Structure 1
Amino acid sequence: MSQDSQSLVTASSDDCAREPIHIPGGIQPHGYLVSVDADGVVVQASRNAAELAGGAIDALLGQPLAVLAGAEAAGLALRALDSLEAEGIPLYAGSIDDPRDTPGQPSSHPPLAIVVHRHQGVRIVEFEPARAKAEVFASMYPLVRTFINSLQHAGDVAGLAELAAREIHRITGFGRTMVYSFDEEGHGHVIAESMEPGYRGYLGQRFPASDIPAQARALYVRNRIRLIADADYVAAPLVPALHPATGRPTDLTYASLRSISPVHVQYMKNMGTWASMSMSIVVRGRLWGLISCHHDTARVPSFEVRTACEHIAEVLSLQVEAKEDHAEADYRLALRRTQTRLLAAMANTEDFVESIGSDTASLLDLVGATGAVAIFEGRIVRVGEAPGDAAIEALLAWLDTQGEEVFATDDLARAWPGAAAHGVGPEAAGMLVVSLSRLFRNYVIWFRAEVVRTIRWAGDPRAKLSGLSTTLSPRESFEVWTQTVRGRSQPWRQAEIEVGTEFRTALLGIVLRRAEELAQLALELGRVNRELEGFSYTVSHDLRAPLRHIVGFADLLREMDYGRLSDRGKHFIERIIAQARFGGKLVDDLLAFSQMGRAALRPQQVDMRRLAERLVDEESREIGTRRLETQVGELCEVHADPVLMDVVLRNLIANAIKFTGQRGLDAEGAPARVEVGMEAGTGPLAGHDVFYVRDNGVGFDMRYADKLFGVFQRLHRVEEFPGTGIGLASVRRIVERHGGTTWAHAEPDRGATIWFSLPRDFVPEGTAGVNETAAEAASRLAAVSSGQPYKPVFKDLKGTENECVETDPAGRGQS
């Protein structure tokens, strides 16, 4: 439907909605209406009511009701009016012979049923044609007995509608009876039909919502039966036009004889209908649908028949509600069983996000979806048919601007105009979202694929053809018009939205419980970690002395008896000294690594370029004659601990120079290259400065990259490249304490690049371990800058403060 056509239909519907159809100022002339005061005096009447009294209408006004209809009728009507307890509910008072008939003579007029009601303080009496003067409800049961007895055979709503259409068609004798339901947008869908030969069928077709404006729908809920006996009728006006008690037009909302809008009368004629009767199907207080009867000539069903049809509509309403409630209860139960199964699996796994993806059937069945995505802590778990990562990222950015914790749509392209531009296709025409945390972008999103629907309309709903006026006119054509609807999914049912909400609550409970468990675990790990750090610190300190003794005594042995040793003995001595010194270096590195997590951070502005240039110069002094090219790019200043930044860059630059040891050994080969640079962080690293150290050395196989930053992890033989395997572990620990991250990329024999990021808005954590003073920090910086191990004061396992000082066994002093 084009925008112009939609606007035209909307304008027509708006015009209809503004029409005062509840105060038409007259009635249909197949019956009579009067308004009486508390004393039973006629104060307003339809002009045709004078026919009952055989006089002029003006003469009737101000007279007792008995003058119009006789004492019996007046007694029935006034007693019924006095018994009314609520406004707006019509009450059958009884039936009488037509006052114009002579008692004892053959009747020339049908009996009249008397119906009364009170609305806005106005007392109204209506006289309508009836079958007989006998009690109307006694004759009603035979009419509805077949319908009542057949209800148990109707298995679903469609069966109920078919039964109602057939029975009302039989009872009323109208040429065509249709039952149609309204969808969420107000369009009517014909779900059952019964008709005589020669009448056109509408089964399966739809009537646009604009055919019944909002005001008419409201009247259908209040007054649940409406008869138009003759499309060519001339309305009988109310006299006087304004009610004497209110000074306003009389509200005929609950009057069964209320005159009909000329627009609707013309609509009937355009449809080939000259008489119609509609009964409302009201479910849970909402207009669920209508039973609509049509006839191609004028037709006045008796009051008893109308009452029977109204009763069938009431029973049908209750049955539809019961069927829907039963089906809804079964569906909700199935959804909750699925939810229970899914939550049980999630609660019993360490990684509940992964468990969502492992039970794909349950996750999709939970809300009847065809695809789903769970986003938690930056991870995206995709299930079934769902958009790609780029589309999900764009969708999350849009969801961040929305306010609902639970959001559902069956037309995502309309709700999110950027859907198509970001590659969201027909696999995600509908979407149901539950937000766990907007701050951390934690969501569960279900998708439904596009359902292409072909809708058969009873006439083009865009049409606004000629009618009664240029601004208010009915449709003229009811020829089948076919519309193909694309880009929309099946609508989300309320039960699905509710179970999605419950699932969100349960997930938040799991996350909260996990957070409490993790907090407890973090406390325990912190305690254990502090004990391990203290233990490793103490052990490292205590191992230094025996290793120094081994080196010292081996040196003495070599000086005293080296000439008398055999070649094999000399080899043993050298091996002892080399391994003891390596052990000492290992202990020193372990001691330094332990200190990384104990000392408080004292961040300040650090000029990373100046630091890198100094370290490149220092670390390249011992390379001998091999050729080395170095490049330090434009590095920024960072807010970090200067001592630890020295450790980070020194380790990375020293490693880069060490692992290019096979490059630049001769003039013909390519020189060794070491580059230090930086980039601005993007995506998850937005707000970070990203630094790197790149070389063209031996590189490594990326299959083992996860071991690179582990303690004592080595990817090359120690004979080729000496080292303890602690340097990169120290780098990672320092960077993480600064709120950054580390990673690497390499190719064998083509070099490696080690990256680390530092946040621009770094705020140091609270002091951990030893509380360092400014003097201690200066001492630490001086020690590290000179290449000597820093020996802080530490507490051993007994809590005694000690200083890292050992005695040389050879008597050469302290070291």
Structure 2
Amino acid sequence: MNGHTRNESRPAQDTGWSACDREPVHVPGTIQAHGLLLVLRMDPGDGRPLVVAAGGNGLDGKAPPSMDGLLEPEGVALVERALSDPGAVADPVIEGLVSRDGRRWTGLLRRDRADILLELEPEQATDATSIRRILLGLNQAIASLQHQTDAISACQVAARHVRDITGFDRVMAYRFMADWSGEVIAESIVPGVDSYLGLVFPASDIPAPARALYASNRLRLIPDARSAQVPLVSPAGPVDLGQAVLRGVAPVHLEYLANMGVQASMSVAIAGLPDGADREAGAAGPATPIPALWGLLACHHQHGPLFIDHVRRQAAETLAQALSWRLGWLADAAAGRRIAMIQDAVAPILGSEAGPSVAVSADGVEATAGETLLRACMATGMAVFGPAGMELAGPPVRIGALPSEAALLQLVDWLDRQPAGPLTTDRLPSLLPPVLLEMLGTDHPCGLLATPLATSAADAAGAGGWVLWFRPELRREVEWAGYKATDLPPGRELHPRASFAAWREEVAGRSATWGADCIAAASYFRETIVASLLRRSRQIAREATQLRRRNEAISFFADAATHDLREPLWQIQVLSGLIRDGLRGLFAEADPAEAPRHPAHEALVREVADLELETMSGLIVTSAGRMRAMIDDLARFAVAGRDVDQIRAVSLRRLADEALDDVGEAVRDVRDVSLSFDGLDGVLVNGDPAQLRRVFQNLLSNAIKYREVSRPLGVVVSAHRHGTSVRVDVIDNGIGFDPADRVTMFEPFRRLHHPTSVPTEGLGLGLSICQRIVEAHGGTIEATPLAHGARISFTLHDPGIVAAAGPAEGHHDAV
């Protein structure tokens, strides 16, 4: 689905928990007391790290210490080496650091924009045996995950193994829902610890800013919720600690943990999209920038503090990542099964073996196919409204239990006025205006999955059509882990709830949540219908485009032909008039009033008249020849590529030789010319000999016309096999062309002009004729400018690929 956004379902009260949504938890100004944190920046002078902010027990709290004043020289050298090593891992771990007071530390380096965070945690004695035990447990957990067939069992495996690795009293798999409330779907606990399995926690328990931090830091550890937080001394201002393990904890969260009886906690992000996560009407944007937070592995410890070293934390993160992959695979498999159901049902509904048809008729829907469609999306009703102007327009496809047609039409009108994109909701009545809700009736649907048939924003601006899936109301009891935050008494700015005892609430006016697998199936069905609509609309568009191009071509043809034929016709008209006037004056009787002409004068006048008549007659013949050539070009253009039915295997060499004979006179007019045929011998192609010969004629003629007069003309014609086709290259060293003309030069009546080329005549149809002929043979043609000249390349089918209609023509000896 496109456009994943969120819409928080909790009322927008300004109680303590709505204030939590505005709390800048990434800049707490404190760190946890069990470690030291240094914020470093590289000195532009000597390139050494400078401490610009620091926090931790044992520091004076007035000014950040220097690296040399805090760590032993060997430790400073280790840090500097890690910072300067270009091959170091992204977040290196530095073992064996010792501070000036003798405490031993493990350092964690993280880069965050211009800042470098160096976090020092107490060194833990983790021997090789312990590490092997952790890796063995991790390996067993990942292997077990691969055999789980549903999300709950996979989460149960992950919860059990995370507890084994870390030693927490309780590890829960906490799955987010569409409104960011979360349900505990799996749990591993030690005896004597209360179970939270099956309980639902409101979205306010993990506010949006806290969820957002999991984008940059997938694990959050609080080893001791009862220890005091230590200020971060930062003269330069607040420091973003979003990526820091030691990031301080907000007082409200510490109080929350105390109310739960939890002294240590850890949570690890599970990547993936929560069920039902999509756009709801009126949603202005995501409630959090996290696009993929399926849930959390939430760990609690009630029996004292519990520090988890970086080795165990990394193992827990790796296991959470493996769980994310398995959940993604299970979701994809579930979606695949539902899409297969759509595929089974769509053929009887949308068309025949020839492909889906847009002529969908409710009367033609088989009951079994309709039931399969509904089962694929776990819906009780489905309706399709086609876009205006398409064959689907009119009465919608209707399957299952649906509101009245009038109500459906009003619902579609309401959807058209919502923000563009799909809409998925399990609480439709709360979104609709009262008038429309009344039209839907007392048994109105509560779940709606609406996917638009519009394929662009422009289409969506109008009546673009919709596929609507409906679900009925599903009344159910939700067992909350204590009262919801919105039920707390107001009066304190940030105040967590104190009760976590199970509290049941009956939820009405909502349907079952749309799962990702059902959303994928509905999206596939929508794409199937869109494909049908696009196929038809593209066909209509192609026909309209072809008709428009033909009209434009006819108009352009008429204009160009009129222009180019008018000049020689005008010359013929003028010269004919001059001849007529000259003859009239020559043979007119002498005027009696004029003096008699001398016989020598009469002879001279006749001789001059004869020369003028001969010159003008020659010009008339030339103009008439030009007109005939133009008319021949127009005739060739009109039939180029048509009636290509004399297909047979033909020799490329013979075609080139015959074309060379045709342009032989033009070749002889060129003083210095080199013409070679490379690789043409023995190469056959499928085609109409006469039309393919015309392609070679035009390309050789163009090479002669557009030669560079300052150098000898060189033309090379070559052939190469490429898979199932033969490529022919005609390369010359002429004037070339501008790369911007690569496409337009094949348009009719396009003539290239160059100051150093030979003056040419013609209509500019040569390349257009070549293109029509080659494309009619199923090939392609293109032009490539070279440093000196041009290359025209075209492809034709190999006779071994396309069956020949007749015997191959014989080979013609090279000229």
Q: Bin the TM-score by the shorter chain.
A: 0.5 to 0.7
Could you tell me which residue of structure 2 aligns to residue 16 of structure 1?
20
Q: Deviations over 1:349-377 (max 9, x none)?
A: 98734213654324434543212345666
C-alpha contact 1:179 1:193 (8 A) present in aligned 2: yes
1:423, 1:61 → 2: CA distance? 67
1:303 paired residue number = 310
- Aligned residue for 2:72, secondary structure, equals helix
- Whether 2:444 is the aligned partner of 1:457: answer no
Contact 1:349–1:355 (8 Å) recurs in 2: no
Structure 1 residue 216 and structure 2 residue 205: aligned?
no
Distance of 1:34 and 1:514 partners within structure 2: 66
Shift of 1:95: 3.7
Provide the C-alpha distance between the structure 2 equivalents of 1:383 and 1:351, rounded to a whole number of angstroms.
12
The aligned residue for residue 78 of structure 1 is: 80
- Alpha-carbon separation, structure 2, partners of 1:149 and 1:441: 48
Q: Partners of 2:83 and 2:245 in 1: how far apart?
A: 16
Question: Does structure 1 residue 356 correspond to structure 2 residue 365?
Answer: yes
Q: Does structure 2 retain, via aligned residues, the 8 Å contact 1:276–1:295?
A: yes
Shift of 1:121: 1.4
Q: Equivalent residues in 2 for 1:29-48 (5 A)?
A: 29-38=33-42, 39-48=48-57
Q: 1:503 to 1:270 in 2, by over 3 A?
A: same
Judging changes above 3 Å, is the alpha-carbon distance between structure 1 residues 390 and 24 closer, same or farther for their aligned structure 2 residues? closer
**Bigger Cα displacement from structure 2, 421-430 vs 208-217:** 421-430
> 1:168 corresponds to which letter in structure 2?
V
Unaligned runs of 5+ in 1: 51-55, 102-108, 520-815
Among candidates 416, 428, 450, match of residue 445 of structure 2: 428
Q: Which residue of the partner structure matches residue 504 of structure 1?
A: 529
Report the counterpart of residue 323 of structure 1 in structure 2: 330
1:798-813 paired onto structure 2 within 5 Å: none
Q: 1:8 to 1:351 in 2, by over 3 A?
A: closer
Counterpart secondary structure, 1:283: coil
Residue in structure 1 matching 2:510, options 484, 488, 498: 488
Question: Are positions 1:290 and 2:299 aligned together?
Answer: no
Q: 2:154 aligns with which of 132, 137, 160?
A: 160
Name the Cα RMSD after superposition: 3.8
Cα deviation for residue 29 of structure 1 reads 1.2
| Residue 674 of structure 2: aligned partner | none
Indicate the residue corresponding to 1:255 in structure 2.
244
Q: In structure 2, what residue type is equivalent to 1:290?
A: L
Q: 2:266 aligns with which of 272, 277, 294?
A: 277
String of CA shifts for 1:457-480, please: whole Å, max 9, x gaps: 11121446479x722211111111
Partner of 1:369: 379
1:200 lines up with 2:194 in the alignment: yes
Q: Give the direction of change, closer, same or farther, for the CA distance of 1:353–1:310 in structure 2 (3 Å limit).
A: closer
- CA–CA distance in 1 between the matches of 2:73 and 2:133? 25
Evaluate the alpha carbon distance shift between residue 146 and residue 507 of structure 1 in structure 2; reply closer, same or farther with a 3 A threshold.
closer
Contact 2:33/2:227 (8 A) holds in 1: yes
Cα deviation code 1:127-164 (max 9, x no counterpart): 11233276897675245243234233322221221111
Confirm whether residue 410 of structure 1 aligns to residue 420 of structure 2: no
Q: For the structure 1 residues 301 and 363, does the alpha-carbon distance in structure 2 shift closer, same or farther, using more than 3 Å as the test? A: closer
Give the alignment partner of residue 118 of structure 1, picking from 108, 111, 123.
111
How far the C-alpha of 1:380 sits from its partner, in A, is 6.1
Residue 452 of structure 1 aligns with an amino acid whose one-letter code is R
> Letter of the aligned partner of 2:257 in structure 1?
M
1:179 CA displacement: 1.2
Report the alpha carbon displacement of residue 408 of structure 1 after superposing the two structures with TM.
4.5
Q: How does 1:341-352 map to 2 (within 5 A)?
A: 341-344=348-351, 352=361
Could you tell me how far 1:309 is from its partner in structure 2?
A: 1.9
Cα deviation 1:63-105 (Å, max 9, x = unaligned): 444x423233222222222347899x6331224467655xxxx
Aligned to 1:666: none
Instruction: Note closer, same or farther for the CA distance 1:399–1:192 as it changes in structure 2 (3 Å cut).
Output: closer
TM-score, with structure 2 as normaliser: 0.54
Tell whether the 8 Å contact from 1:271 to 1:478 is kept in structure 2 after alignment.
Answer: yes
| 1:125 Cα deviation after fit | 1.4
Partners of 1:455 and 1:484 within 8 A in 2 = yes
Structure-2 separation of matches of 1:513 and 1:43: 63
Matched residues in 1 for 2:243 and 2:13: separation? 29
C-alpha distance in structure 2 between counterparts of 1:35 and 1:378, whole Å: 66
In structure 2, distance between residues paired with 1:11 and 1:374: 43
Conservation of the 8 A alpha-carbon contact between 2:72 and 2:99? no
Note if contact 1:12-1:210 (Cα within 8 Å) is conserved in structure 2: no
Task: Confirm or deny: 8 A CA contact 2:16 2:492 kept in the other structure.
Answer: no
Question: Percent identical across equivalent pairs?
Answer: 33
Take 1:405 and 1:174, find their aligned partners in 2: how far apart are those partners? 44
> What is the Cα deviation at residue 123 of structure 1?
2.2
1:266-665 → structure 2 map (5 Å cutoff): 266-283=255-272, 286-296=292-302, 297-344=304-351, 352-356=361-365, 359-365=369-375, 367-373=377-383, 379=395, 382-392=398-408, 394-395=410-411, 398=414, 401=417, 407-417=423-433, 418-426=435-443, 428-433=445-450, 434=452, 445-463=468-486, 465=488, 470-492=492-514, 493=516, 494-508=519-533
The number of residue pairs the alignment matches comes to 493
Structure 2: tracts of 5 or more residues without a match? 1-8, 43-47, 274-290, 386-391, 545-815
The CA distance in 1 between the partners of 2:76 and 2:488, in whole Å, is: 48
- How far is 1:9 from its partner? 5.3
Corresponding letter in the other structure for 1:258:
R
Deviations 1:530-585 (A, max 9, x none): xxxxxxxxxxxxxxxxxxxxxxxxxxxxxxxxxxxxxxxxxxxxxxxxxxxxxxxx
Written as runs of structure 1 = structure 2, the 5 A alignment for 1:138-149 is 140-149=134-143
Cα distance between partner residues in 2 of 1:41 and 1:440:
62
Mapped contact 1:427–1:447 kept (Cα < 8 A): no
What are the superposed Cα offsets for residues 397-454 of structure 1, whole Å, 9 maximum, x if unpaired? 5456557585544333233223442243436222345569999997654322222232
CA–CA separation in structure 2 for the residues paired with 1:251 and 1:34:
12
Give the Cα separation in 1 of the matches to 2:244 and 2:13.
Answer: 30
- Separation (CA, whole Å) in 1 of partners of 2:67 and 2:360: 85
